Chain A
């Protein structure tokens, strides 16, 4: 359960002040699949950093599972990210030198999970993200863009987080590969995961069940997606 209450984020650079988010409030129920979309510079990434506990707001409250994240220290934020959030970024998702398996296990390493349990959980996550087993021992710089995103999804799942946060996860992919990734998100959603997907493309946003429009740091529209696209892809099953 995510609750954002009156969040404002102001960036100060020298004498300049940029108001990136203005008094934003919304909530996301457990198991929802929400897309946040808006034009460039509208504040999407800023919002995602706050939701992902990578940063704290200038004012307002952010409750994640009832806990106020807004006032935490750097190391406490690291714990929140580790336990409750799974990230899928647009690019540079994986450590290139490490194997797929190692990449997926990394959050568990920082969580202090024992070696055997880690491997077991990483296998489950990789199966869930639909990455064929042949690839598990490959180094991540040997993978295609679509495969990288699926490894990133597996890593996002491995800690069983409250929230999976994806920032333009299909931005670097062709539409076909992008569809496999979106189909994977849809299947995870059916399995009961909470997903927040950030994009500037309506086509991508239409895969979610709810779409929020953000412009100039404010939420302009927020509602059910009536023209929802459902994709099935054998590679994502």
Chain B
């Protein structure tokens, strides 16, 4: 039989019992729909995590003190768990390491902040004028800390938009020129940064920037720095910069064994790939759970096809009596099951798409339906029809025409 005729026959057979076919297809729809939705949510999550990692800078390397030996030190306040990185280290990197576009050491602390009307507690970062370039910070009002401010140990501050809102009760007020008190020391506001959105690591909108020298002199004391942000010239020079920085600092700190290093250099690419592998695992996990429902749907197809074969035993006998070969009978039943799963697959893709749109709409998680997942779903659903339709079709084809005709 030709394909078109096979499909015609299959169509008329599966539409005889519409409710039963519909319920069976529903199993496939749910299976395919959830696989598509889960993959799209997983991929969307991966996309937004990558985007937020990119938003903290491009071609970024961060040097922090003895990260490996005291886990958790990144989120600690003050100068880090170990005071091993100094201003001098930063200056040495700036002058000796090649292929660097910009370098910005920083020092962090949490302090009580007061304005005339309000009072909050937030992160205060002491840094230098190149920080906006290295960490992709844009200004919305006024200007960032200048080299002049750092040189003169000026008591000036740049606020994040959230902090502005907290201190002046509204994000729309222009606080430039106002005075705030950080740890009871007066600072003049010279600028406000643009909102970046939360990015998982630290909220770059709820923050205050002051000159590094000012922080060292009035807030922290000493010449230690919490971390050094380095922007490499391009993606291809990152490894080289990382090696140079590591060698330079080991030499300066008189360390010969890299495992004993009292600092660590984190490459932005490493963070991206670590995050990707986490979200990939997560996506695979979600998709496998959804895949189980697909298998259950496939078993539903098999169950229905076995029932159909039994119900249509005499039809099979008659078809064989008038000349149908085994192949004709088995392809007829296979066509029916593949038709069911294919239709289920197509509707399931639409369902999965709608689910992922709803997820985006209500939870804000960006989702992305990729072509490969659609093709895969169509292929998998047709494959499920083949696999779960194979046994019933073989059973039908193997029926003895005499027995089949006598069947009551």
A189 within 8 A of B: no
Asked if B402 and A54 sit within 8 Å, CB to CB, the answer is yes
A67 within 8 A of B: no
Q: How many whole Å from B36's CB to the nearest CB in chain A?
A: 34
CB-CB under 8 A for A106 and B321, given A75-B326, A92-B314: no
CB-CB under 8 A for A82 and B323, given A54-B401, A92-B405, A98-B12: yes
Q: Which of A78-126 contact B (CB under 8 A)?
A: 78-79, 81-83, 87, 89, 92-95, 97-98, 106-107, 109-111
B83 within 8 A of A: no
Interface size of A by Cβ–Cβ distance < 8 Å?
A: 26
The docked-state distance in angstroms from the alpha carbon of A87 to that of B402 is: 13
Most buried by A among B12, B322, B327: B322
CB-CB under 8 A for A97 and B323, given A54-B401, A55-B402, A89-B405: no
Asked if B402 and A107 sit within 8 Å, CB to CB, the answer is no
CB-CB under 8 A for A87 and B322, given A49-B402, A92-B314, A92-B405: yes
B114 within 8 A of A: no
Partner of B321, one of A74, A81, A97, A111: A81
10 examples of A-B residue contacts, CB within 8 angstroms: A49-B402, A54-B405, A55-B402, A75-B325, A75-B327, A79-B325, A81-B322, A82-B322, A95-B319, A97-B13
Q: Which of B314-345 contact A (CB under 8 A)?
A: 314-315, 318-328
The docked-state distance in angstroms from the alpha carbon of A89 to that of B401 is: 13
Interface size of B by Cβ–Cβ distance < 8 Å?
A: 21
B1 within 8 A of A: yes
The docked-state distance in angstroms from the alpha carbon of A232 to that of B318 is: 30
Partner of A92, one of B13, B16, B318: B318
Asked if A110 and B402 sit within 8 Å, CB to CB, the answer is no
Q: Which residues of A contact B (CB under 8 A)?
A: 49, 52, 54-55, 74-75, 78-79, 81-83, 87, 89, 92-95, 97-98, 106-107, 109-111, 155, 159
Asked if A97 and B16 sit within 8 Å, CB to CB, the answer is yes
Asked if B318 and A95 sit within 8 Å, CB to CB, the answer is yes
B5 within 8 A of A: yes
Least CB separation from A83: chain B residue: B323
User: Nearest 8 pairs between A and B by C-beta?
Assistant: A82-B323, A110-B323, A107-B322, A78-B325, A75-B325, A92-B314, A54-B401, A110-B324
Q: How many whole Å from A206's CB to the nearest CB in chain B?
A: 27
The docked-state distance in angstroms from the alpha carbon of A235 to that of B405 is: 29
- Chain A hits for B321, CB < 8 A: 52, 54, 81, 87, 89
CB-CB under 8 A for A109 and B318, given A54-B401, A78-B324, A92-B405: no
Q: Which of B9-25 contact A (CB under 8 A)?
A: 12-13, 16
Asked if B16 and A81 sit within 8 Å, CB to CB, the answer is no
The docked-state distance in angstroms from the alpha carbon of A97 to that of B326 is: 22
Least CB separation from A92: chain B residue: B314
Asked if B318 and A110 sit within 8 Å, CB to CB, the answer is no
Q: How many whole Å from A166's CB to the nearest CB in chain B?
A: 13
Least CB separation from A86: chain B residue: B322
Partner of A107, one of B1, B13, B323, B325: B323
Asked if A97 and B318 sit within 8 Å, CB to CB, the answer is no
The docked-state distance in angstroms from the alpha carbon of A109 to that of B329 is: 13
Asked if A78 and B405 sit within 8 Å, CB to CB, the answer is no
- Chain B hits for A110, CB < 8 A: 1, 319, 322-325, 328
The docked-state distance in angstroms from the alpha carbon of A109 to that of B323 is: 9
Asked if B320 and A78 sit within 8 Å, CB to CB, the answer is yes
Asked if A109 and B1 sit within 8 Å, CB to CB, the answer is yes
Least CB separation from A158: chain B residue: B322
